[in-house]
Amino acid sequence: MTSGANGKILINELTKVGDEINLKELICEASHTKLIRKAIFSNDEKLVIAGGEESIVYVFEFLETKLKLLYRFQHSQEIMTITYHPSSRLFVSGGSDQSMFEHIEVETVLHSKLIKKEKNTIRELQYSFDGELLVVAIGEDIVTYKSDIMKE
């Protein structure tokens, strides 16, 4: 999945039949007008979450040929990274405002809360495969948190 500042997200699908490899490109209209830094699928591949220079996390429903905007969440500065929890509808966004926000959809409402304020720009977030740990790249440091920071 790639995206640009033209309001489109390009989703590439590779399929292999025998020795033949096919590439299917799907261009979806999105709502952003500036560079997207990160775009990911939810675990069930029903949602696409994207964020970047606009400082907005966009949550789209993926509808085979288009993206339908469901939610928007405003950070105070640009979004650098987004990661999805491996076993739930929870995802975390982080950015140059040194903030990590937890987001979860409950009964068609996106609930968001500040879970951690760091000392530097959050460059990357990634959950462990079991979802117990969250690795955070902050400036030149790498920090690991237990997922229970979400419950504080």
> For 75-91, how does the pLDDT look when each residue is reduced to its tens digit (9 = 90+)?
888 888 888 888 777 88
Question: What are residue 149's phi and psi, to 5 degrees?
Answer: -60, -20
Is pLDDT at 150 greater than 70 in this prediction? Answer: no
Nearest-angstrom CA–CA distance, 122 and 70: 25
> For 17-42, how does the pLDDT look when each residue is reduced to its tens digit (9 = 90+)?
666 655 555 555 556 667 778 888 88
Nearest-angstrom CA–CA distance, 93 and 71: 14
CB 68 within 8 A of CB 56: no
Q: What is the pTM of this model?
A: 0.71
pLDDT value at position 134? 87
Q: Which residues contact 19 (CB under 8 A, 6 or more apart)?
A: none
> For 115-135, how does the pLDDT look when each residue is reduced to its tens digit (9 = 90+)?
787 878 888 888 888 888 888
Is pLDDT at 68 greater than 70 in this prediction? Answer: yes
Half-sphere exposure of 52 (CA within 13 A, CB side): 20
